[in-house]
Amino acid sequence: MGTAPLLGIAFGLAAASSWGTGDFCGGLASKRTPVYGVVMLSQLLGLGFLVILALILSEPVPALPDMLWGGIAGLAGTVGLAALYRGLATGPMGVVAPIAAVVSVILPLFFGLFLEGVPAWSQLLGFGLALCAVWLITRPRRGERIQARHLALPVLAGLGFGVFLILIDHVSAAAVLWPLASARAASVLALFLALLLARWHYRPARQPIALARQVPLIVLAGLFDTGGNAFYALAARAGRLDIAVVLGALYPAMTVILARLILKERLSRQQGLGLALALLAVMLIAS
C-alpha cells in the first residue's frame, strides 16, 4: 500500500478520534446547559477556528461556486443535526442513534464505490465489521423494538449527514479550510434562524457560574468537531472516499472510551464487542 492510502487511513482515524472527543465534551456541557446552546456556540467557535487557521496558513479562497456548494453541504448537515435531535427527543435513543449513524455511512459509502470502484475484499469485510461496530457501540444496554414510526427522523438525519460527507469532499481540490468554513457559516445561520423562529433563548447557561464552568467544554467541543471535519476532508483527498467515511464513522468508539476512562462508565458486553469489531475493522481496512 502506497503512502497516500496510508495517509488517508491515518487522517480517517484522526477524524474519528476528533469527532468522538468533541461529542464527549459537548455531551458533558449539555448535562447542565441547554443542548441547542452548546451546539450553537460550538458551531460559532468552530467557524472562528476555521477562518483563523485558513488566514494563518494563507489558504487560497476557492471560486464562488465551490463556496456555495460548501454552504449547501453545511445546510444538509444542519438538516441532519435537527432531525437527529428531534428524533432523540421524540423517539427511543437506542433506535434513533444507531440508525442515523449507519445511514450516514451507507450513502457516501455506495457513492464512493460507484466513483472509485470496489476495493479489496479484506477492506469490504472491514466496512461490514465497521458498520456492525457502530451499531453495537451506539445501542443502549437494553434493546428496544424498532417501529416504523421511529424510522423517518433518523433516516433523514443519516441522509443529511451523508450528503454533507459527499459534498464536502467534492467542493474544491485546491482548498480544505475555506469550504469547511462556508459549510459551518451556513450551518450557524440556519441554526440561528431556526432558534429565532422558535423563540428559544440559546445562551449557554442561565447563571454566570454555570457559564464559566461550561465554556471550556464548549470550546473543546467546537475545536474537536472542527478538527474532525478537517481531518475527514484530508482523508477523502488523500485516499478513497469510502474508506474515509467508514473510518470516520467509528467516532462513537472514542466517545465510549473517554466515558469509560474519565467518567468511569461501565461498558456493556455489546459495546465491548463493538470496540473489538472496530479494531478488527481498522486492521482489515489498512491491510
Task: Please give the torsion angle defined by the CA atoms of residues 29, 32, 38 and 39, in that order, rounded to the nearest 10 degrees.
Answer: 100
* Residue 124 main-chain phi, psi, to 5 deg: -60, -40
Q: What number of helices (H) and strands (E) belong to the chain?
A: 11, 0
Q: What is the DSSP letter of 204?
A: S
What is the pLDDT tens value at each position of the chain, 287 positions in all? 556 578 889 999 999 999 989 888 887 887 777 777 777 888 899 999 999 999 998 988 888 888 888 999 999 988 888 788 777 667 766 677 778 888 888 888 888 888 888 888 888 999 999 989 988 888 765 655 656 666 888 889 889 999 998 888 877 667 789 999 999 999 889 888 877 776 655 454 454 455 557 788 889 988 998 999 999 988 988 888 889 999 998 988 888 888 888 888 788 888 899 899 999 999 888 87
Domain extent, residue 172, equals 3-286
- DSSP H or E run through 215: helix 208-238
Q: What is the DSSP letter of 32?
A: S
Q: What is the DSSP letter of 150?
A: G
Strand segments (E) across 56-161: none
Q: What amino acid occupies position 52?
A: I
Q: Is-contact 188 40, C-beta < 8 A? A: yes
Distance CA 185, CA 193 (A): 12
Per residue in 162-192, pLDDT (tens digit) is 999 888 887 766 778 999 999 999 988 988 8
Instruction: For residue 150, give the C-alpha cell.
Output: 421511529
Instruction: For residue 4, give the C-alpha cell.
Output: 497516500
Quick one: pLDDT at residue 148? 63
In sequence order, the 6+-apart residues with CB closer than 8 A to the CB of 218 are: 25, 26, 29, 33, 38, 41, 42, 45, 204
Number of other CB atoms surrounding residue 64 within 10 Å: 8
Number of other CB atoms surrounding residue 204 within 10 Å: 21
Quick one: pLDDT at residue 185? 93
Whose cell is 476495493? That residue is 119
Quick one: pLDDT at residue 205? 47
Q: What amino acid occupies position 82?
A: A
Quote the pTM value.
Answer: 0.85
Quick one: pLDDT at residue 5? 75
